[in-house]
Amino acid sequence: MRFIFTLFLALVLQGVMAQDITGIWRGHFRQTNRSLQLLNLEDRYRFEVQIAQEGKNFKAVTYSYKTTEFYGKADAKGAIHTGTKKVYLEELKIVDVRMQIGNDACIMTCFLQYTKNGNEEFMEGTYVSMNTRDSSDCGRGTVFLRKVTTSDFYKEPFLTEREKKPKAEESVRINEAPPIARNNPQKPPATGNKPVQPPVKPKPPASKEPSPAAPVIPDPEPEFRKPAAPVVVPPVIKDRENEVVKTFTVTTRQISINLYDNGTIDKDTVSVYLNNRLVVSKKMLSLSPITVNIDLAEENDYVELVMVAENLGEIPPNTSLMLVKAGNKQYEVRITSTEQKNAVVVFKYQRE
């Protein structure tokens, strides 16, 4: 029993100590602003976080920037829950800021969720912010971060020092004495005389009148009707694996899609196909959106949008952020595609 408990404890400690978010994270944050959404605009800032984790707590520095409009650097701290992998990040004070006259600086508190997809690591969630001048509300919004290997600025000394240390899980050792074998004689099984029950004879099946055949109910027509297969499937779709990453059921026929680079602008280039029809040809992802508008026609309630990586950019793989607007609803989708695999997003129309 002691050996089983020791093994269980070792496995638990390994799972607890295995998660380390030390490193450089880069992406963006954007404010939830209804007025800007109505104008089809968004307040989107680049965001970089450098983290040095010790145990479940960490020290951090954040960089926020938007072209020449704003640049801010802040000291921060936080913690990660080893079970749920929820991350709390709090900016403490601004140490450097450059902004236009008349603007105020704000500090953020982020509530993030860590996830891992293959070799890619992400943190995303929401934030609230406070004006450093008068402590008033500075707005709230969403945050997306992806772990990267290089900084857009310089690596902080505390991060360089932390990376020299062995990882926490390497220092965990379970030194337990080997289990002591005990020679416990086993008791022979009890051999009691059980009463013998007479065999039960099966009853002959009662004769029944043949029941009338159940009426055949025709299958209902499917709610979503796929379009007829196109005559020619592009080789880049036919010859690559096509993975469905998201399926949306919408109640509007007008859908607007904006595509951005997901994190660092590293010259990722994509093509977009709509039901095997080319709608975007070899465009580079950037901070400016690539826009695709979809009109779900009356006879076509099912649309497949395929993202094709034309290259892997300077930092593989090809990654993008898709913002979908369908009526009064908005969605975000992370897209990862390679030269062997395309990413597919499906839209289904359903009447209200």
Parse the chain into domains and list their residue ranges: 2-171, 235-349
Q: What is the DSSP letter of 338?
A: -
Rounded-to-integer distance, Cα 313 and Cα 282, Å: 12
The residue with greater pLDDT, 266 or 237, is: 237
What is the three-class DSSP state of 352?
coil
Q: Which two tokens stand for residue 8?
A: 């269980």
Does the pLDDT value for residue 307 go beyond 90? yes
Rounded-to-integer distance, Cα 277 and Cα 236, Å: 12
Q: Which two tokens stand for residue 168?
A: 């926490």
- Work out the average pLDDT over 180-194: 50
Per-residue pLDDT, 175: 46
Does the pLDDT value for residue 232 go beyond 80? no
Interacting residues of 94 by C-beta distance below 8 A, sequence separation 6+: 72, 73, 74, 105, 107, 132
Contact present, 152 and 73 (Cβ < 8 Å): no
Rounded-to-integer distance, Cα 130 and Cα 43, Å: 16
Does the pLDDT value for residue 124 go beyond 50? yes
The residue with greater pLDDT, 299 or 76, is: 76
Rounded-to-integer distance, Cα 235 and Cα 38, Å: 39
Strands 318-326 and 277-284: unpaired
Interacting residues of 55 by C-beta distance below 8 A, sequence separation 6+: 168
Confidence band of 105 (pLDDT split at 50, 70, 90): confident
Confidence band of 204 (pLDDT split at 50, 70, 90): low
For domain 235-349, the CATH architecture is: Sandwich (2.60)
Confidence band of 166 (pLDDT split at 50, 70, 90): low
Interacting residues of 73 by C-beta distance below 8 A, sequence separation 6+: 61, 62, 63, 64, 94, 95, 96, 97
Strand locations in the chain (E): 23-31, 44-54, 57-66, 70-80, 86-99, 106-117, 120-131, 137-148, 241-250, 254-261, 269-274, 277-284, 290-295, 302-309, 318-326, 329-337, 341-349
Q: Which two tokens stand for residue 179?
A: 């289990």
Domain 2-171 and domain 235-349 have a common topology? no
**Which class in CATH covers the domain with range 2-171?**
mainly beta
Backbone dihedral angles phi then psi of residue 283, each to the nearest 5 degrees = -105, 145
What does the DSSP assignment read for 98-141? EE-TT---EEEEEEEEEEEETTEEEEEEEEEEEETTT--EEEEE
Does the pLDDT value for residue 130 go beyond 80? yes
- Work out the average pLDDT over 330-345: 90
